[in-house]
Structure 1
Amino acid sequence: MKLNVAYKEQFETRHIAPNEQDTESMLKIIGVASLAELIDQTVPKNIRLKKPMALPAAKSEYEYLNKLRQTASKNKVFKSYIGQGYYDVIVPAVIQRNILENPGWYTQYTPYQAEISQGRLQALLNFQTMVLDLTGMQIANASLLDEGTAAAEAMFMQYSLRKNAEAKSYFVSEEVFPQTIDILKTRAQPYGIKLIIGNHKTVALTDDLFGALVQYPAGHGEVYNYKAFADIAHQKNIKLTVVADLMSLALLTPPGEWGADIVVGTTQRFGIPMGFGGPHAAYFATKEEYKRSMPGRIIGVTIDKHENYALRMALQTREQHIRRDKATSNICTAQALLAIMAGMYATYHGAKGIKAIAERIHGLTVLLSTALAEFGYKQLNENYFDTLKYAVGDLTNPLHSESLNNEFNLNFDGEFITISLDETTRLHDIETIVKVFGKVKAKTLHDIDLESLAKNVESVIPTELQRTSSFLTHPVFNKHHSEHEMLRYIKSLEAKDLSLCHSMIALGSCTMKLNATTEMIPVTWPEFGGLHPFAPVHQTGGYMQIIAELNDWLSEITGFAAMSLQPNAGAQGEYAGLMVIRAYHQDRGDFNRNIALIPSSAHGTNPASAAMAGMKIIVTKCDEKGNIDVADLRAKAEEHSANLSCLMVTYPSTHGVFEESIIEICEIIHQHGGQVYMDGANMNAQVGLTSPASIGADVCHLNLHKTFCIPHGGGGPGMGPIGAAAHLVPYLPGHSVVDMGNEKSISAVSAAPWGSASILLISHAYIAMMGAKGLTNATKYAILNANYIKARLESHYPVLYAGANGHCAHEMILDCRSFKTFGIEVTDIAKRLMDYGFHAPTVSFPVAGTLMVEPTESEPKHELDRFCDAMIAIRNEIADVESGLSDKIDNPLKNAPHTVAVITDNDWDKPYTRQKAAFPLPYVALNKFWPSVGRVNDTYGDRTLICSCPPIEEYEFDVLV
């Protein structure tokens, strides 16, 4: 027997689930002879790639991790005192292992189906409560992307709320972090908002200002008393946003107590690694009167149909998918996973622990200031929390050299040096810093008595700015301080949520595929997690290699000249792409080009992003088959030829079809001087078969949390990098702190230069381990799996749209509208699916009353069959209602989901059996997932809006904590 000593495991076979036998069986059901025949009949020949993608050979999981270890070693993790919004942290191990590294948390979807998302919703409600307690505000959302974009959202909310329509100016303190000012500039331009950047102590607040923004503590560390400034602003009807360091608010008077209208910031200091820039959860808190203008998701308390405590996302009519171009924000992805971690950090430490950590940070900062004063260094901040500021003149270069020799980084900002301490700082770190500062003045530690100084440290925060109000008083923050209690609390919430650990999540447009363990492992390596995004470039060689390789690979996959990896969400990528198009037109003198053509089937973020980019939206029609109406598009392109900026198009279409006319559509736009922006939401049906550039697009964003395997995290993180054709590359986003290399770059769209850099590792791993052949096969199998479901279900549910040969792309739309005539809504089907152990497909998008199904390539045939069996069984239940066998009101669909409490209740008065309710198919009994609440009452929740943990006497204690 010959032995194959060259055998190498292929990751492709781990990622793509159907085996040869299953593939053959599925092809027979579809009615094609081979996978190649299916692809040929589905993807138009005129858009197919002429040659395979030029990507490195696929690595095995073992090979990849070994190689990545070498790459990681090129990152030099020095102790960081840079600050500027990014700080080293201690991630509680119980949170790292059981949330960050746990697929039961990171593979969940956004909690639109509340009944099977109660654990995550409770964790996010805890986050909101934490934010409200620390900021002193009245209502908070469930996170935003990062501190800079949260500040920009606040500015636009202030702009939307202004009473004086002529007010176009916005004051920004010059002591706000530079990356935040950069994003404010980006967001201000399309609306003609004039930023007044200056000193808050000397600026004249006039009637033409609609808002103001300050940082607390300020960018260089000074803690100002802004109360008088806030009072004057309010006298002028100017709303005030405060960018506040959440950790400092354990010691400082909350902004809500001295006049803030909006408070924003990052929760990164609450146990989230720096990760070279992200992902981190920003927070946004404001007054209750502004709740309907607040961006992002809000978690609210309600009741279920049995009048039990329940949670769901509140006030969704504010959101972009409803309001489209009238939306106040285009936010689609939040940072749920990171918000959950930050909330759990507060839960684990409680008020006493958080205050102790803040006091240690402040105390060591005071000690350092006192010690350096002994060496003759004059500290410039009168009041401070964690950051010291020095003007050191000729000593700058020697201090820089000596700090690097001792493997720590300071923040060198023009003529100043700042030193920011954090949770990880200890007394021996102070000794090291003092030693370095002493050496450049020929002094040593022996010249001062550091030990005595440490015994006499007192706060320098003035009495009027010291916090006196309590925080984190709810029992949830006061019960779980031992690890056993914390572990059980985390697991109790996890058990209430359905994730990819339980079953497929066939969400159309959302691509819930395998998030492989090997792809996830490096994210928590200290070489990647411990790097500050503004660290000197000679310390970031590993990241630079990853970013360069990913840029090359994604460029090859899309056919574009280059990528920007900065946008840290899909909608952020949309916005960035449109701003790049805008900059291109304006650089050519075409300032009038502001018309965006958008098909009626477009995702809600498309018109919202276009409006944010200052564009006027013209909607184009779709025909009865769901395709773009080419004649209507041509007519509107001709009508608006002189002012045409771009077309926003999704491919394959939002209806799940490869439109045959896509090249013609792109040519029409180009003939009239416009650019083609392609929404990359459906890129999972393109990779290796076609590409945005070959179709004719000029710029496209990629949802790395869809096609390229970054997990959805229960509603974030996401990544939305954009690829651009050569003529648009000079305009890709730049950054005010880190040189991105393009003179014509638009200003930043995200706070960090490379967005949420640490999770780029996931997509890097996926591409490296799949290779060109594996990625292409993934696309083919995504199309195969979708068409198999179509073939099994189309005799039970009408499939709305299909291509020329009757096939769908990677997803399909099941039409449920006819069931409404006898009282069954698409929502009833979604809720009933929970009883079968499944999360519903996308409900009522892009067509109301439908389900959009996308299985992905990672699901095996038996899981597809389980889903199809469930859908067919539900169709039979609908038929029973239609025929009169089941009551129109009291039936399994209307009463779904059925909880264990309902099933085990002594009183069972339903006209169907408990078996029918809870175990409708044999497989369900083998591995039953129980929804933790009955159908949620959305109306009640919006009518009695509660967005923080309610007083304990109002609900059962163990439900909340």
Structure 2
Amino acid sequence: MQSCAKSWGLFLARSVSPSAPCSHLSHKSGVVWKLQCRIRPGRSTAARRILPRHDDFAERHIGPGEREKREMLDVLGLESIDQLIESTVPASISLQRSLKMDDPICENEVLEALQKIASKNKVWRSYIGMGYYSCSVPPPIQRNLLENAGWVTQYTPYQPEVSQGRLESLLNYQTLICDITGMPVSNASLLDEGTAAAEAMQLCHRQNKRRTFYIDPRCHPQTIAVVYIGVNTVLKLPHEMDFSGKDVSGILFQYPDTDGRVEDFTALVDRAHKGGAMACCATDLLALCVLRPPGEFGVDVALGSSQRFGVPLCYGGPHAAFFAVKDSLVRMMPGRMVGVTRDAAGKEVYRLALQTREQHIRRDKATSNICTAQVSLPNMAAMYALYHGPQGLKHIAERTHNAALILSEGLKRAGHRLHSDMFFDTLKVSCSVAAKDILERATQRQINLRVFSEGVLGVSLDETVTERDLDDLLWVFGCESSAELIAEKMGERVKGIMGSPFKRTSKFLTHQVFNSYHSETNIVRYMKRLENKDISLVHSMIPLGSCTMKLNSSSELMPITWREFANIHPFVPLEQAEGYQTLFRQLEKDLCEVTGYDKISFQPNSGAQGEYAGLAAIKAYLNSKGERSRSVCLIPKSAHGTNPASAQMAGMKVQVVEVDKDGNIDLAHLKAQVDKHNASLAAIMITYPSTFGVFEENIRDVCDLIHNNGGQVYLDGANMNAQVGLCRPGDYGSDVSHLNLHKTFCIPHGGGGPGMGPIGVKAHLAPFLPSHPVVPMRSVNSSSSLGTISAAPWGSSAILPISWAYIKMMGSKGLTHATQVAILNANYMAKRLEGHYKILFKGRKGFCAHEFILDVRPFKKTANIEAVDVAKRLQDYGFHAPTMSWPVAGTLMIEPTESEDKAEMDRFCDALLGIRQEIADIEEGRMDSRINPLKMAPHSLACISSSNWDRPYSREHAAFPLPFIRPETKFWPTISRIDDIYGDQNLVCTCPPMEVYESPYEEKRASS
């Protein structure tokens, strides 16, 4: 086994000695690390005494120490963690061996190992384009946002009173998108450009109930591939599009197109509208800084990627897609949207708007199955726009365009033919000499070009291109002039877009927020002010049930910004990305071992995308067997909202299965549904442990029943954190699962994204995994593949090193013990609270899995208190609320994870017990049922420090209800309780006037 002390000949093993300290806690997993050494003849073993191990990552990751575990077990009346696990996980599915994995390595070693892997990637200059471009990431944004735990460890901002910072940033992003595209309304991001285009197609179908969709073949090929999975998608050039049949729901075109051509689509949009179809435009934000925006020629939907606004290439992701629509389509728009509302004090504030469109509420009737979006990335794009401002962005766009003009002039002088005279940054070139000779010269300079076909190449430039880069490109294409000489001779006669009718004349980003933070001093202070408004894991535990808000360690996150991972174009030849390919292979091997599956696809870039991909693989498999009639998907009533939404998107018909009083699948009703839909049964989607926090004893029987009736089993991997090392879905009957790497495997939630949702499948589904139209995927059978479900071949590749590092540092025993402690922590908290709150569901032996549900519904009758009141009051105690009103309306679901220590869990329990006492005070008449600390919560600093205090309880009780809440450490909600109804009835989704969130002093101080 390797270790940081390997030069001393030392290694470490996790010991399970009956005589070891605390060995009574677990004889199976072992929780004590013991130093051993390679004993050499004649050598002393004294090093074991003087060099004890101090860098075990598992001990850093897992919160409770040995004494705390013992104390929690005593509260539960148990002798060991093994006894708890045996009482929780059904014996019929229990894994009877250790996971087969490499021995764990320490944090320094994992970074060294990752550096060796990263060094296999070749960072060439890539001018491939196709929606992916090199860019300059401003160091203040990289350092203070992307690499800052205060920005990336939060969940989706469902509690706006403690999320105003990133809500403001996302509103800036929406304003940015609206201004640049010329559209009135934008959402807060989607997963990538390809899936955004597919969402646009779905929107068109929903809006006008037609089923044929035209795609211009000059869109990016990966976008076409993602959309092409849809119903009745047809490739047609604009002049071939026929709208006379009244069956076309919409069209999609690219502006500028994938060849680089800029053309006028006004007539096409008019024809589509006259035929009752909608017009969707995939476009480029940087190009629109100098090009006439699509909103000005009437499109209904504008979409694309915001990657080139300060986000690295990342071998394909994560990147944020933008999606903007006309006002009339706002309630049909997919994804999250930030809006302006007011709080209880009448102040204008921010919240997630129109949530009733989304999957967690509307389920199979939702506008989209999207849950995780890409919040970290739109935040970066918004800050990039703030940092540069409108003039800076226009300067970058003009500079990029001028570089393309210089290159085009040089190529023409060298005898090559350009396919278009009007372009922004991309040139399609018919070569006057053999293309292979040009490509050979490009290889000599470590340059990647796009290959269209025999003799036709493409070059896409970006903001990083220098004069030296242009000289190299000119040399590659055989031009004898330099960029300097060409520019000198061009003079004013070549004006490109700036001298054409396509030139943008409308202003954009006129709001003060985009014209105030152009110095590093001011942008850093602005980011810090926003960060300080948001509660994150740097402040306290975030006990969101089914979200697994565990530690995101610094050592796991460090590699994502290394140039060898960050600066690789997703479509480079595979030999230039051997480091990534090595990492994919190793991570796939480990994930297969953890899950019991045979193959992994990393293409899905969210859990919801994984669900869709898994169901699509099932459909493809059934179709290959001639069973196309199988289209019914059974889903328990307790399922995640993404499940029915994903099934609907995959073309399946959802049939609901009831659950019994204990939270288990109602077997009798399941059998009745199976009998009823026997001939058309395609699949069942189940979550395990259940969303009620229970390991169902009959899971094997459920899987067998579905298989015996011709269906497949999709197991939602959202609760995998309760299974790792204890049981494996592939062993007890599941055919496919998605894995939320941003839950179980430590990718940070990013305030609502990015996430990763790779799917694991059994061997019979492997031939149907996603493929890609641009990059050959060595292990995927493209002829049988379900198609392409994300724009990049391996999804959000750049965040996979996080999960790789976590697994390598934990090892088999560390991973297993993390699962055990997650279950221990949940049961300890449930035990502490059960005498004061009703715990809704427990397993057969009285224990929960890794999460549990508090029933606060009775308090509505006894004290006029609901779950939302408890959630808001917890903010006064310094905590983010648990998951509210899901999976059971009016309840709270708590998941502590293994990373929280006993002291933090005790503080959270004390807070809930304090709240229970406040409820008792209302029940017993000591507090008013309308004006009390719960109904008036949260109490912001402005509220507490106001000269007017007319409430029948003290300021101290409002703000400092328990001794552990102290002025010097308290996290303050920045606003009072928001008004959701007002926000939806008075929808505003762009930046309000600056004075709403800037003091006069700050306005004066900001630079211009």
Task: Provide the residue aligned with 1:434 in structure 2.
Answer: 474
Task: Provide the residue aligned with 1:231 in structure 2.
Answer: 270
Task: Provide the residue aligned with 1:846 in structure 2.
Answer: 887
Structure 1 counterpart of 2:496, from 454, 460, 469: 460
CA distance in structure 1 between the aligned counterparts of 2:484 and 2:416, rounded to whole angstroms: 13
CA distance in structure 1 between the aligned counterparts of 2:996 and 2:907, rounded to whole angstroms: 41
* CA deviations over 1:256-275 (Å, ceiling 9, x no partner): 00111100001001000010
Alpha-carbon distance change, 485 to 651 in structure 1, aligned in 2, over 3 angstroms: same
How much does 1:909 deviate? 1.1
Task: Provide the residue aligned with 1:85 in structure 2.
Answer: 131
Task: Provide the residue aligned with 1:181 in structure 2.
Answer: 224
Q: Is the 8 A contact 2:470 2:483 kept in 1?
A: no
Matched to 2:985, the amino acid is R
- Corresponding position: 1:200 with 2:238: yes
Structure 2 counterpart of 1:418, from 458, 469, 473: 458
- Corresponding position: 1:449 with 2:489: no
Alpha-carbon distance change, 33 to 664 in structure 1, aligned in 2, over 3 angstroms: same
CA distance in structure 2 between the aligned counterparts of 1:465 and 1:573, rounded to whole angstroms: 40
Task: Provide the residue aligned with 1:750 in structure 2.
Answer: 790
CA distance in structure 1 between the aligned counterparts of 2:694 and 2:128, rounded to whole angstroms: 50
Q: Secondary structure at the match of 2:935?
A: helix
Question: Structure 1 unaligned runs (5+)?
Answer: none
What RMSD in Å do the two structures reach over aligned CA positions? 1.4
How much does 1:168 deviate? 2.2
Alpha-carbon distance change, 707 to 448 in structure 1, aligned in 2, over 3 angstroms: closer
CA distance in structure 2 between the aligned counterparts of 1:909 and 1:849, rounded to whole angstroms: 30
How much does 1:108 deviate? 1.0
Task: Provide the residue aligned with 1:939 in structure 2.
Answer: 981
Task: Provide the residue aligned with 2:556 in structure 1.
Answer: 519
CA distance in structure 1 between the aligned counterparts of 2:89 and 2:453, rounded to whole angstroms: 56
Task: Provide the residue aligned with 2:35 in structure 1.
Answer: none
How much does 1:449 deviate? 2.8
* CA deviations over 1:49-70 (Å, ceiling 9, x no partner): 1211111111111111111111
Matched to 2:728, the amino acid is S
Task: Provide the residue aligned with 2:167 in structure 1.
Answer: 121
Segment of structure 1 superposing worse, 324-333 or 271-280: 324-333
How much does 1:202 deviate? 3.7
* CA deviations over 1:95-146 (Å, ceiling 9, x no partner): 0000000000000110000000000000000000000000000100000000
Segment of structure 1 superposing worse, 386-395 or 33-42: 386-395
- Corresponding position: 1:930 with 2:968: no
Q: Secondary structure at the match of 2:434?
A: helix
Alpha-carbon distance change, 769 to 446 in structure 1, aligned in 2, over 3 angstroms: closer
Matched to 2:219, the amino acid is V
Structure 1 counterpart of 2:601, from 554, 564, 567: 564
Q: Is the 8 A contact 1:371 1:448 kept in 2?
A: no
Q: Secondary structure at the match of 2:251?
A: strand
Structure 2 counterpart of 1:581, from 618, 621, 641: 618
Structure 1 counterpart of 2:425, from 386, 390, 395: 386
Alpha-carbon distance change, 955 to 924 in structure 1, aligned in 2, over 3 angstroms: closer
How much does 1:457 deviate? 7.2
Q: Is the 8 A contact 2:348 2:996 kept in 1?
A: no
Structure 2 counterpart of 1:61, from 107, 110, 117: 107
Alpha-carbon distance change, 447 to 303 in structure 1, aligned in 2, over 3 angstroms: closer
CA distance in structure 1 between the aligned counterparts of 2:335 and 2:997, rounded to whole angstroms: 27
CA distance in structure 1 between the aligned counterparts of 2:302 and 2:579, rounded to whole angstroms: 36
How much does 1:673 deviate? 0.6
Task: Provide the residue aligned with 1:158 in structure 2.
Answer: 204
CA distance in structure 2 between the aligned counterparts of 1:229 and 1:198, rounded to whole angstroms: 12
Q: Is the 8 A contact 1:273 1:529 kept in 2?
A: yes
Matched to 2:908, the amino acid is F
Task: Provide the residue aligned with 2:821 in structure 1.
Answer: 781
Question: Structure 2 unaligned runs (5+)?
Answer: 1-44
Task: Provide the residue aligned with 2:904 in structure 1.
Answer: 863
How much does 1:378 deviate? 1.4
Alpha-carbon distance change, 518 to 457 in structure 1, aligned in 2, over 3 angstroms: farther
Q: Secondary structure at the match of 2:92?
A: helix
How much does 1:394 deviate? 5.4
Task: Provide the residue aligned with 1:769 in structure 2.
Answer: 809
Structure 2 counterpart of 1:143, from 182, 189, 200: 189
CA distance in structure 2 between the aligned counterparts of 1:118 and 1:573, rounded to whole angstroms: 30
How much does 1:8 deviate? 6.4
Task: Provide the residue aligned with 1:306 in structure 2.
Answer: 345
CA distance in structure 1 between the aligned counterparts of 2:490 and 2:554, rounded to whole angstroms: 45
How much does 1:6 deviate? 7.7
CA distance in structure 2 between the aligned counterparts of 1:947 and 1:714, rounded to whole angstroms: 19
CA distance in structure 1 between the aligned counterparts of 2:118 and 2:684, rounded to whole angstroms: 41
How much does 1:9 deviate? 2.1
Q: Secondary structure at the match of 1:892?
A: coil
- Corresponding position: 1:894 with 2:929: no
Q: Secondary structure at the match of 2:477?
A: helix
Task: Provide the residue aligned with 1:759 in structure 2.
Answer: 799
Matched to 1:889, the amino acid is R
* CA deviations over 1:682-710 (Å, ceiling 9, x no partner): 00000000011112100000000000000
Alpha-carbon distance change, 476 to 74 in structure 1, aligned in 2, over 3 angstroms: same
Q: Is the 8 A contact 2:471 2:482 kept in 1?
A: no
Structure 2 counterpart of 1:2, from 15, 40, 46: 46
Task: Provide the residue aligned with 1:818 in structure 2.
Answer: 858
Q: Is the 8 A contact 1:371 1:453 kept in 2?
A: no
* CA deviations over 1:390-433 (Å, ceiling 9, x no partner): 12275111111111110110001223211000010111100001
CA distance in structure 1 between the aligned counterparts of 2:96 and 2:88, rounded to whole angstroms: 17
Matched to 1:947, the amino acid is C
Q: Secondary structure at the match of 2:175?
A: helix
Structure 1 counterpart of 2:925, from 859, 880, 884: 884
Task: Provide the residue aligned with 2:953 in structure 1.
Answer: 912
Matched to 2:707, the amino acid is H
Q: Is the 8 A contact 2:406 2:483 kept in 1?
A: no
How much does 1:211 deviate? 0.5
CA distance in structure 2 between the aligned counterparts of 1:891 and 1:607, rounded to whole angstroms: 39
- Corresponding position: 1:501 with 2:547: no
Q: Secondary structure at the match of 1:449?
A: helix
- Corresponding position: 1:348 with 2:348: no
The size of the alignment, in residue pairs, is 949
Structure 1 counterpart of 2:214, from 140, 162, 171: 171
What is the TM-score with the length of structure 2 in the denominator? 0.93
Matched to 2:90, the amino acid is P
CA distance in structure 2 between the aligned counterparts of 1:267 and 1:447, rounded to whole angstroms: 29
Structure 2 counterpart of 1:297, from 336, 360, 369: 336
How much does 1:599 deviate? 0.4
Structure 2 counterpart of 1:50, from 79, 96, 101: 96
CA distance in structure 1 between the aligned counterparts of 2:257 and 2:762, rounded to whole angstroms: 40
Alpha-carbon distance change, 14 to 200 in structure 1, aligned in 2, over 3 angstroms: same
How much does 1:205 deviate? 3.0
Q: Secondary structure at the match of 1:312?
A: strand
Task: Provide the residue aligned with 1:272 in structure 2.
Answer: 311
CA distance in structure 1 between the aligned counterparts of 2:946 and 2:857, rounded to whole angstroms: 34
Structure 2 counterpart of 1:367, from 397, 406, 415: 406
Structure 1 counterpart of 2:634, from 580, 597, 600: 597
Identity %: 52
Q: Secondary structure at the match of 2:893?
A: strand
Q: Secondary structure at the match of 2:200?
A: helix
CA distance in structure 1 between the aligned counterparts of 2:792 and 2:668, rounded to whole angstroms: 43
Matched to 2:974, the amino acid is S
How much does 1:447 deviate? 12
